[in-house]
A and B are shown apart, each in its own frame.
Chain A
Amino acid sequence: MSDTPDKTSPSFEMVRTLGLVSVICGIIIVGVYQFTLPAVNANKKLALERQVFKVLPQAKSVVPYFATGSGIVAAAGQDLPPAGAVMFYAVYDAADRLAGIAAEASSSGYADQVRILYAYDVDKQAITGIGVIAMRETPGIGDKILTDQAFLQNFAALDVRLSADLQSLANAVKTVKHGTKTSPWQIDAIAGATVTSKAVGRGINESAQKLLPRLWPHLDQLRKPS
Chain B
Amino acid sequence: MGNILDKPFVKVEPELCKGCGICIDACPVDVLKFSNNFTSKGYHYAYYIDEGCTGCGVCFYACPEPEAIVVFKKGYEYAGEEVG
State yes or no: do A and B come from one complex.
no
Residues of A within 8 A of B (CB): none
